[in-house]
Amino acid sequence: MIKVYGNVGCSKCILVKKMLDTKGYVYTYLQGAETMEVAQKTGMMELPILEHEGKFYSGSEALKYVKDI
């Protein structure tokens, strides 16, 4: 399961969700407290934060990851 942690108005978050939708992936989108918890846990401060198969990717790295899967 893919999890995308984002925030309202985040253009990269919107783009990652659109890319996942286009590719037909099922994912969960979380924001608010969940995003803050994951950011603190991982030390990643750039959104979106994407979690897949136990690994985390943030910002441009998340965009590249989605493009490549």
Count how many domains the chain has.
1
**Average confidence (pLDDT) over 15-21:** 97
Strand stretches in the chain, DSSP E: 2-6, 27-31, 49-52, 55-58
Residue 33 sits in which domain range?
A: 2-68
The span from the CA of 68 to the CA of 65, in Å, is 5
Task: Report the candidate in 9, 45, 24 with the shortest Cα–Cα distance to residue 56.
Answer: 45
CATH of the domain at 18: 3.40.30.10
User: Do residues 50 and 65 make contact, with C-beta atoms less than 8 angstroms apart?
Assistant: yes
**Predicted confidence (pLDDT) per residue in 31-49, tens digit:** 999 999 999 999 999 999 9
Band (pLDDT 50/70/90 cuts) for residue 10 is very high
User: Tell me, what's the pLDDT at 12?
Assistant: 94
**Average confidence (pLDDT) over 6-32:** 95
User: Tell me, what's the pLDDT at 14?
Assistant: 95
